Structure 1
Amino acid sequence: MAKTTPMRLLELMVLKDDIDSVLTYLGKLGDFQFQQDFNDSAAEEKKQNADADIFARLQSARSFLNIKDLDHFTEAVSLPTEEDRSEAVRIYTAAEDLHNREIECGENVKRVSSSYKEAASFSNLKVPYSQLESLSFLTLRIGRIEEGAYDSLASSFGSNAILTTLGNDKTKILAASSKKGRFFMDSELKKAGFVEINLPKDFKGVPDELLGALEGEVNSVKKELEEIQEQRKNFAETHKDMLLHLLQVFSVSSQLNSVKNKLESTDFVYRITGWIPAWESRTLIRTLDDLTKGRAGIREFLPNEVRSVLEGREKVPVQLKHGSLIKSFQRLIFSYGSPLYGTVDPTPFVAVFFTVLFGIMFGDAGQGLVFFILGILMTLNKMKLAGWEKFGRIFICIGVSSMIMGLLTGEFFASEEVLKPFNRFVHSLFGVTDYEKASEPILKLMPSGTDPGSVLRMFIFFGFTIAVGFIINTCGIIINIVNQFSLHHTGRALFGKTGITGALFFWYVIIFAVLTAAGIHQPAPYDFIIIAVTLFFTAFGEVFERLVEGERPVFENGLFSAIIGAVVEVIEIISSYLSNTVSFVRVGAFALAHAVLGSIIETMMNQVPAAAGKIGVLIAGNAIVIVLEGMIVAIQVVRLQYYEFFSKFFSETGREFKPFAFVYNCQGQ
């Protein structure tokens, strides 16, 4: 059986001048996992990562310029040059300046527009001017200023207040500002020698000069805002490629600096320790030696030479190496837990069992074809399904298995008519010449009142699914036995529910029951002796484990406690093996349910008179089955893998191999 990838621990002593090139190489390689626990590094928090700050400012600039972000590197991984650093500062500074100007101008548009709208709403009202001071937004001042002070006053007001003349000599003015800006306005008016005019109590309305000035100010600031937005658009078009390039190189450098800040170091040397697959160790050592021109010190250790591993303080990371097809099933393993280092790699078993179980429960050639096509499109990146693209090969596998099962059950998009020629062809190979019988499906699941043998066939099919469960349980037990021997746990391999004694008990009981039920074997005394002996060693498995592995005392908590534990263990062994086996009846039940749903869709379709209606029922019914039942069947397959297969050998989980690699938009945090 294939086992987890052999690993090696490397210790690197790298000069400060070489650390960037070494870390860049390791990040590009993507197959080196640091041994240091970076998650608890307090030292890194005290060190600044200037490139991470630059990256963040570039990202803010990209967002402001409405440039779509990347989701992966589109160019070769590299560090920023001095020219890149200068360009980065220039671009994010210019973008920030544009951003600030746009914000300020936008606020001016809001302020001036609000002033104009409020003043305009009172332009036709004939109310005393004294009452206008009660306006919630606007503050008005009418009076005289010193001769020649108008231009300097208008300049000092800027966009904070509105100033308009009430005559031709520019000494009589009307000033307006927001309530918040009245203190500034009054202060500037005072400098211009402002003397308020006492208007008559019956003075009414808002002067046209004020409305005209406000309207002109609104148009002016709106035009200024449009010009800034046009500048932003042009800036984005001319700097897009450079900005995306800078984001990539500073993403790399920020991650590199983050790692570098966490490494052990002196004023001249960095120390790096990490795990790498054994097959890649020699190449990495040669490359680093060339990269540093022989200046790096490199030592290599086997896992059994690492003190932290021997003392149980560290687990060797686990890598599962497969081709693209089997690799797509790896996440099912790691979502449950990582195997221990040096144990059997269960991924090929999971790939086979998942594919077979799904196909049995979801047997329809047409619906399977849909999964198959979806898988092909996802694998070729022709279809995006919210991150499901990585499961494209799984869709291909379950599509093929569903099509094979559909050919056996004679279903094609819930119809048995389409595959009748195929059924006749297959039956003819076995000498069936009767047209009606030859047209029937090769494997008919639906029981029929007119066919007395259909119920028997259904129960035989249930027996077949239990046999599949027996094979899966057996594989799980064998994997556990091999694992325990590999880990030098001889006692666990020999005794216990998932050890050799438990396996012998399970196998013998199943074979004995099947042969007896079939009338091939008559129960004999030796049958019960074998069953009793294997059950005894299994029930007292913990005691015999301690005996074989030299642990003392053998009865850790006394003889009476061991007996009570054995009795409970017998109940648990029998109930668990029974439930683990019978649980696979659900596979047959779901296969039957799928056939029933297909029959319902076909019946509903036949009851609709119009051809368009038939097509509608066919499409809607199959779509519901593909989506809903597809999800339910997938969940059931995962459940059977987790509880009936993984539980046999996943008594302790390992540590997944997570190598250091540069990832775009990740700053190593």
Structure 2
Amino acid sequence: CSIASYQEVNPGLFTIVTFPFLFAVMFGDWGHGICIFLTAMYLIIREKKLASQKLDDIVEIMFAGRYVILMMSLFSIYTGLIYNEFFSVPFELFGKSAYACHDPSCGDATTEGLVRVGQTYPFGVDPVWHGSRSELPFLNSLKMKMSILLGIAQMNLGIVLSFFNAKYFKNIVNVWYQFVPQLIFLNSLFGYLSLLIIIKWCTGSKADLYHIMIYMFLSPTDDIGENQLFPGQRIVQLVLLLLALVSVPWMLFPKPLFLKKQHEQRHQGQHYTMLQETDESVAQLGGQHENPHNHEEFEFSEVLVHQLIHTIEFVLGAVSNTASYLRLWALSLAHSELSSVFYDKVLLLAWGYNNVIILVMGVTVFLFATIFVLLSMETLSAFLHALRLHWVEFQGKFYDGSGYKFAPFAFASIIEEED
């Protein structure tokens, strides 16, 4: 990771919390989280002894990041409780299910025939969904929309941090011609999508959000019909679409023009001043003088092209970065389904044979699959994906990272360089 520029916002303060949380969203299982927690605690308790030993490369990396792993495990336990998964097995830890089976049709792994008999499950996913035919469509919709909400929230945080960078360095140009249009563009489209997701959850509407967002661009003036979620929705969409279109030239043209004007004002009359200084230097130095035109140059075309690249990158990135956060949904479902396959097709299948040898083999295969696939490969996969989301989607909004590591002056280092 690059070194932060001097006095710019350091993303480490926020990453301490957001990194293990995004990891846990993809690795949500409180049984697996406890396993990682025990591993981290072992490394922490024996850190003095392990620090004095020569470790393998993999163990050394784990030891160096033992506190990060501890945070990852705690967040995984939390999200696992929300998903209600313990090695893919649901538990009624927070009360009974809100539904009961009053029809023979719901006995064969389906939610048909279920009747609501109690209050909504107080925390996390209702255990009745697990093992039913509606489990995958339900969790698919839930986790996909949750990923979008988390992604938009984190990208907005990155844009807000760019404002604090600009404010601290007193760069008013970046505040009005970068921060403001970026915030408007992102929230006019994907912030609005996040609002629709929340409204749909609260109202229980059957509106098709894909249809709403697609026809918001293709036919913005058409009647929304059955997909209407609130009064005046069509007018709101027209205003948001107009704001998104206006924000693109707002990002592109004013900043280069303002910088050009600022440069001209700064160097107005400088040529006359430099000629006077040149005459004096000629008299003092006997004709040796610098070129009066050798001063700071301003290439408007270069600044405009740079701003054009930055604008295109942000506009396209707003779409691609939002889609990139869907990896939270994909890896979470993959982890859940792998856990379910190992539990149902290995452990329970071996248990059903009523044979000790087959049972021992099944338990052995289940343990190896859990340790090497779920606790090793899946952990590394979720770790790398969470790392990418922070480096690109989050830090790309505000982080420059063009600094260099502080090296204090020392005579010893000078001697070493000379040798």
Q: Secondary structure at the match of 1:421?
A: coil
Calculate the TM-score normalised by the size of structure 2.
0.65
Which residue does 2:334 correspond to in 1? 593
**Structure 1 or 2: more strand by fraction:** 1
Alpha-carbon shift at residue 615 of structure 1 (Å): 2.1
Match of 1:605 among 347, 364, 367: 347
Which residue does 1:537 correspond to in 2? 250
Aligned pairs for 1:540-559 (under 5 A) are 540=253, 542-546=255-259, 550-552=262-264
Q: Is the alpha carbon distance of 1:505 and 1:447 closer, same or farther for their aligned partners in structure 2, counting shifts above 3 Å?
A: farther
Which residue does 2:390 correspond to in 1? 641
Asked whether the 8 Å contact 2:188–2:241 carries over to 1, the reply is no
Measure, in 2, the Cα distance between the counterparts of 1:462 and 1:354: 19
Q: Using the TM superposition, name which of 617-626 and 354-363 deviates more.
A: 617-626
Per-residue deviation, residues 589-631 of structure 1 (Å, max 9, x unmatched): 0000000110110122222234322321221121021011111
Pair 1:656 & 2:386 matched: no
Per-residue deviation, residues 62-115 of structure 1 (Å, max 9, x unmatched): xxxxxxxxxxxxxxxxxxxxxxxxxxxxxxxxxxxxxxxxxxxxxxxxxxxxxx
Aligned pairs for 1:11-22 (under 5 A) are none
Measure, in 2, the Cα distance between the counterparts of 1:386 and 1:566: 44
Unaligned 5+ segments in structure 2 are 51-58, 100-114, 197-211, 214-227, 267-297, 411-415
Match of 1:522 among 228, 234, 248: 234
Asked whether the 8 Å contact 2:152–2:191 carries over to 1, the reply is no
Per-residue deviation, residues 165-196 of structure 1 (Å, max 9, x unmatched): xxxxxxxxxxxxxxxxxxxxxxxxxxxxxxxx
Q: Is the alpha carbon distance of 1:539 and 1:655 closer, same or farther for their aligned partners in structure 2, counting shifts above 3 Å?
A: same
Alpha-carbon shift at residue 375 of structure 1 (Å): 1.6
Which residue does 1:399 correspond to in 2? 73
Match of 1:623 among 349, 371, 379: 371
Measure, in 1, the Cα distance between the counterparts of 2:33 and 2:167: 41
Asked whether the 8 Å contact 1:359–1:402 carries over to 2, the reply is yes
2:365 alignment partner AA: V
Q: Using the TM superposition, name which of 598-607 and 561-570 deviates more.
A: 561-570
Per-residue deviation, residues 220-252 of structure 1 (Å, max 9, x unmatched): xxxxxxxxxxxxxxxxxxxxxxxxxxxxxxxxx
Q: Is the alpha carbon distance of 1:588 and 1:357 closer, same or farther for their aligned partners in structure 2, counting shifts above 3 Å?
A: same
Q: Is the alpha carbon distance of 1:344 and 1:557 closer, same or farther for their aligned partners in structure 2, counting shifts above 3 Å?
A: closer
1:479 alignment partner AA: L
Match of 1:380 among 31, 45, 66: 45
Q: Secondary structure at the match of 1:363?
A: coil
Aligned pairs for 1:388-427 (under 5 A) are 388-412=62-86, 414-416=87-89, 419-422=90-93, 424=95
Asked whether the 8 Å contact 1:540–1:562 carries over to 2, the reply is no
Which residue does 1:576 correspond to in 2? 317
Alpha-carbon shift at residue 394 of structure 1 (Å): 0.9
Measure, in 2, the Cα distance between the counterparts of 1:447 and 1:545: 59
Measure, in 2, the Cα distance between the counterparts of 1:629 and 1:407: 19
Measure, in 2, the Cα distance between the counterparts of 1:627 and 1:446: 28
CA RMSD of the aligned region, Å?
3.8
Pair 1:442 & 2:152 matched: no
**Structure 1 or 2: more helix by fraction:** 2
Calculate the TM-score normalised by the size of structure 1.
0.42
Alpha-carbon shift at residue 380 of structure 1 (Å): 2.4
Q: What is the identity percentage for the equivalent residue pairs of Structure 1 and Structure 2?
A: 18
Measure, in 1, the Cα distance between the counterparts of 2:88 and 2:6: 49
Unaligned 5+ segments in structure 1 are 1-335, 662-666
Asked whether the 8 Å contact 1:495–1:544 carries over to 2, the reply is no
Asked whether the 8 Å contact 2:189–2:241 carries over to 1, the reply is no
Q: Using the TM superposition, name which of 504-513 and 349-358 deviates more.
A: 504-513
Asked whether the 8 Å contact 1:502–1:534 carries over to 2, the reply is yes
Which residue does 1:501 correspond to in 2? 181
Q: Is the alpha carbon distance of 1:375 and 1:569 closer, same or farther for their aligned partners in structure 2, counting shifts above 3 Å?
A: closer
Measure, in 1, the Cα distance between the counterparts of 2:122 and 2:163: 48
Pair 1:366 & 2:31 matched: yes
Alpha-carbon shift at residue 450 of structure 1 (Å): 3.1
Alpha-carbon shift at residue 543 of structure 1 (Å): 1.4
Match of 1:470 among 137, 152, 162: 152
Asked whether the 8 Å contact 1:447–1:455 carries over to 2, the reply is no
Alpha-carbon shift at residue 454 of structure 1 (Å): 4.8
Q: Is the alpha carbon distance of 1:632 and 1:659 closer, same or farther for their aligned partners in structure 2, counting shifts above 3 Å?
A: farther
Measure, in 1, the Cα distance between the counterparts of 2:381 and 2:26: 10
Q: Is the alpha carbon distance of 1:569 and 1:374 closer, same or farther for their aligned partners in structure 2, counting shifts above 3 Å?
A: closer
Q: Secondary structure at the match of 1:386?
A: helix
Measure, in 1, the Cα distance between the counterparts of 2:24 and 2:150: 13
Measure, in 2, the Cα distance between the counterparts of 1:445 and 1:420: 10
Aligned pairs for 1:243-392 (under 5 A) are 336-382=1-47, 384=50, 385-392=59-66
Q: Is the alpha carbon distance of 1:463 and 1:553 closer, same or farther for their aligned partners in structure 2, counting shifts above 3 Å?
A: farther
Q: Is the alpha carbon distance of 1:564 and 1:438 closer, same or farther for their aligned partners in structure 2, counting shifts above 3 Å?
A: closer
State which structure, 1 or 2, has the greater radius of gyration over its C-alpha atoms: 1
Q: Is the alpha carbon distance of 1:445 and 1:438 closer, same or farther for their aligned partners in structure 2, counting shifts above 3 Å?
A: closer
Q: Is the alpha carbon distance of 1:658 and 1:632 closer, same or farther for their aligned partners in structure 2, counting shifts above 3 Å?
A: farther
Per-residue deviation, residues 514-567 of structure 1 (Å, max 9, x unmatched): 44666232235543442233222112254155157x12399x6568x8888777
Alpha-carbon shift at residue 439 of structure 1 (Å): 13
Which residue does 1:479 correspond to in 2? 161
Measure, in 2, the Cα distance between the counterparts of 1:439 and 1:618: 32
Measure, in 2, the Cα distance between the counterparts of 1:538 and 1:492: 10
Q: Is the alpha carbon distance of 1:427 and 1:376 closer, same or farther for their aligned partners in structure 2, counting shifts above 3 Å?
A: farther
Pair 1:488 & 2:153 matched: no
Pair 1:458 & 2:140 matched: yes
Q: Is the alpha carbon distance of 1:652 and 1:411 closer, same or farther for their aligned partners in structure 2, counting shifts above 3 Å?
A: closer
Q: Is the alpha carbon distance of 1:342 and 1:564 closer, same or farther for their aligned partners in structure 2, counting shifts above 3 Å?
A: closer
Which residue does 1:163 correspond to in 2? none
Measure, in 2, the Cα distance between the counterparts of 1:589 and 1:489: 40
1:539 alignment partner AA: L
1:540 alignment partner AA: F
Pair 1:614 & 2:383 matched: no
Alpha-carbon shift at residue 360 of structure 1 (Å): 0.6
Measure, in 1, the Cα distance between the counterparts of 2:140 and 2:173: 43
Q: Is the alpha carbon distance of 1:553 and 1:652 closer, same or farther for their aligned partners in structure 2, counting shifts above 3 Å?
A: farther
Alpha-carbon shift at residue 642 of structure 1 (Å): 0.6
Q: Secondary structure at the match of 1:532?
A: helix
Aligned pairs for 1:39-50 (under 5 A) are none
2:235 alignment partner AA: P
Q: Secondary structure at the match of 1:337?
A: coil
Which residue does 1:316 correspond to in 2? none
Per-residue deviation, residues 631-656 of structure 1 (Å, max 9, x unmatched): 11111111111111111122342223
Measure, in 2, the Cα distance between the counterparts of 1:476 and 1:538: 17
Which residue does 1:324 correspond to in 2? none
2:346 alignment partner AA: M
1:551 alignment partner AA: H
1:360 alignment partner AA: V
